[in-house]
Structure 1
Amino acid sequence: MKLHIPEYFDLPSTLESGQAHRWKYENGWYWGVVYGDLIKIRQTQSEVEILSSLRDPDNLKSLIQWYFRMDDNLDEIYKMIRKDDYISGAINRHCGLRILRQEPWECLSAFICSATSSISRIHKNMESMSDSLGESLVLDGHLRSTFPTPEQIVTAGESKLRELGLGFRAKYLHRAAIAIAEGGLDLGELRYIDYWDAKAKLMELSGIGPKIADCVLVFSLDKLEAFPIDRWVSRALEKFYFDDCIPSYQDTVVWAHDYFGCYAGYAQQYLFHDQRLGGLHVKGVSHRK
């Protein structure tokens, strides 16, 4: 199936910007499991071509538009967050990068795995759990697996997660799975409540701090004001905005809301991706505070 894409859409930047952790690139196609469906996708100038292991064309179109947030008006977003030369440079270098609307449980699991880890290790952890505990999917001779449900994680147990290489993160993922499987937290409901309230709910889970909560909120629950601050974002903020003296995490989030507005999460993702790739190099422009 072919689908016309919005004016601003960059598939490689979107899928390789550290927000999703189960995409693989092979022979011109990106392969990934999206909401339980094995997808292969590639971009031409004005459209994407997509194949699916499960969905008919109409459902596949809706899934792709939802997952890639094709409803986001990037022209409007750029106008709101383009506050200085630093963020402008990042936008120019990665124009078309979109925040994804991921499945919340898988997104939460990935960022639990991110604690004191690397992107490559997160990828490995997510694939190991899927291969061992998920359900098989096949498309064009490629075999992948769904990410395990909370119930499957609970059944597997913490010791199995440790066997799969999660280390100390196994305890926190297993506890989160129990809370969700038993109805203690409905991730989907967080989409419809205030950002700060949703963040507080996530942080009630053992091992979930403000950064992980913000990642889950912005990458799966439509809280585009969420502003996750990891080491890459911290470096950008210290270098270009705060003269090496960054405020507390919460104060910095409040600053980001004031400075970048309701799309602070988009600003964060451009700063993160650009800093990680070494692109932020503008000099001689006054810092903004």
Structure 2
Amino acid sequence: MVKVPNFKSTGYVWFDLKTSPRELRLDTLRCGQSFRWQTAKDHWACVLNGQLYVLKESPNSIFYGVPELESKDKKLVQEMDRTLRDYFQLDLLSLEKAYARWCGLDPNFKTKAVHFQGIRMLRQDPWENLVCFICSSNNNITRITQMVHKLCIHFGLKIATLDDTDYYSFPSLASLAKDGTESKLRQLGFGYRAKYIAQTAQKIKKEHPDEQEVWLHSLRDLPYEETKQTLITLPGVGPKVADCICLMSMDHAEAIPVDTHVWQIASRDYGFGKKQNKTLTTILYNQIGDHFRTLFGEHSGWAHSVLFSAELKSFEHRLLQEDESVKSGFNSSSSNSSSSIRKKQRIK
């Protein structure tokens, strides 16, 4: 039996990720991209690549913790730094410059950017991302998080305990492709999603027996539309789920997932009136995506995610904050005249 390490957050040495609030805020971890990070006291924690990662946020940067006994291992510290920089895509895109460009292109984005700095797209493991977004069908962030936690407890491996909280790896494809998975997931409250998760795992295992979940990484090398259409062949994956996976784990920054929030944004702020469109048809879905791709250009999916975050009830407090523009450094000459607009944009 493998002994699981038991840590205390007070026994960590903290290393600076060398970023800034304009480039990254940990609110990124709760805006509907990842569902596995847990918060406790003043830190966030999650298992990535089979290892526990612990993060803290300061007014000026993000810090990652390394257990005191391991903190002198330079290779380990450097590998953790590389993993986090890749996960948050810190070396891919200057968010401050991107925000400035998007603010110049779209007045609506400008009003939101004042309050939503530091929202980045994560570069997640494709297998984990795929299963999590199969769980997202007709669901909300809180319940998806609960379901993913159950998946890890019942099908993953316990990696570590931190401050009396257990942390697990994400289940392997092989563990979810076993007989009885669907029945077990239904018992855990996954409903119809249980079938899709089990069937997707079995399909990939059958069609790609040597690569299994690694096969999904190869989709990163395909053009966006080809990647999307390949994902749609998997059980439980429609256009929106496929776009989420393309954007959040497949390096396709032009993907625009259109859900009810994004449809509301398009309807309210960009002329896609619901009076004329009572249902989100395939044609309308594509038109909304094309509109944002044309409007924001390169990395349009990142810009769209900022607008999406502004619709989440958990972020409503940001829209209520005054003088945030002074802290963020964004030009908000229209902030006074937009106060009534912000009231209308609060989540109902």
Which of 216, 221, 235 aligns to 2:250? It is 221
* d(CA) in 2 for partners of 1:23, 1:282: 35
* d(CA) in 1 for partners of 2:203, 2:49: 21
Query: Residue in 1 aligned with 2:197?
Result: 173
**Are 1:230 and 2:230 counterparts?**
no
- Secondary structure of 2:109 counterpart: helix
Give 1:172 shift. 0.8
Give 1:257 shift. 1.3
Written as runs of structure 1 = structure 2, the 5 A alignment for 1:47-62 is: 47-51=61-65, 56-62=76-82
Written as runs of structure 1 = structure 2, the 5 A alignment for 1:246-257 is: 248-257=284-293
Whichever residue aligns with residue 142 of structure 2, its letter is: S
The share of aligned pairs that are identical, in percent, is 27
**How many residue pairs were aligned?**
284
Partners of 2:17 and 2:81 within 8 A in 1: no
* d(CA) in 2 for partners of 1:266, 1:281: 25
**Are 1:208 and 2:237 counterparts?**
yes
Q: Deviations over 1:104-139 (max 9, x none)?
A: 111111110010111111001100010011111114
- Secondary structure of 2:59 counterpart: coil
Partners of 1:2 and 1:47 within 8 A in 2: no
Query: Residue in 1 aligned with 2:131?
Result: 109
Bigger radius of gyration among the two:
2
Give 1:36 shift. 2.4
Query: Residue in 2 aligned with 1:287?
Result: none
Query: Residue in 2 aligned with 1:144?
Result: 167
* d(CA) in 2 for partners of 1:27, 1:273: 24
- Change over 3 Å in CA distance of 1:263–1:140 after alignment to 2: same
Q: TM-score, normalised by structure 1?
A: 0.91
Query: Residue in 2 aligned with 1:133?
Result: 155
Written as runs of structure 1 = structure 2, the 5 A alignment for 1:31-110 is: 31-51=45-65, 56-71=76-91, 72-82=93-103, 83-110=105-132
- Change over 3 Å in CA distance of 1:162–1:52 after alignment to 2: farther
- Change over 3 Å in CA distance of 1:126–1:52 after alignment to 2: farther
**Are 1:158 and 2:182 counterparts?**
yes
Partners of 2:23 and 2:94 within 8 A in 1: no
- Secondary structure of 1:248 counterpart: helix
Structure 2 alignment gaps of length 5 or more: 1-13, 278-282, 320-337, 343-348
Give 1:92 shift. 1.5
Give 1:81 shift. 2.6
**Are 1:192 and 2:221 counterparts?**
yes
* d(CA) in 1 for partners of 2:113, 2:252: 20
* d(CA) in 2 for partners of 1:87, 1:21: 26
Query: Residue in 2 aligned with 1:30?
Result: 44
Give 1:281 shift. 6.8
Q: TM-score, normalised by structure 2?
A: 0.76
- Secondary structure of 2:310 counterpart: helix
- Change over 3 Å in CA distance of 1:281–1:263 after alignment to 2: farther
- Secondary structure of 2:64 counterpart: strand
Partners of 2:136 and 2:144 within 8 A in 1: yes
* d(CA) in 1 for partners of 2:290, 2:311: 21
Partners of 2:25 and 2:117 within 8 A in 1: no
**Are 1:275 and 2:288 counterparts?**
no
Whichever residue aligns with residue 191 of structure 2, its letter is: G
Give 1:10 shift. 3.6
* d(CA) in 2 for partners of 1:233, 1:90: 14
- Change over 3 Å in CA distance of 1:249–1:281 after alignment to 2: farther
* d(CA) in 2 for partners of 1:75, 1:11: 12
Give 1:218 shift. 0.7
- Secondary structure of 1:95 counterpart: coil
Q: CA RMSD in A?
A: 2.2
Give 1:179 shift. 2.4
Partners of 2:152 and 2:170 within 8 A in 1: yes
- Change over 3 Å in CA distance of 1:167–1:281 after alignment to 2: farther
* d(CA) in 2 for partners of 1:183, 1:52: 40
Q: Relative to structure 2, which stretch is displaced further, 235-244 or 56-65?
A: 235-244
Q: Relative to structure 2, which stretch is displaced further, 191-200 or 153-162?
A: 153-162
Query: Residue in 1 aligned with 2:296?
Result: 260
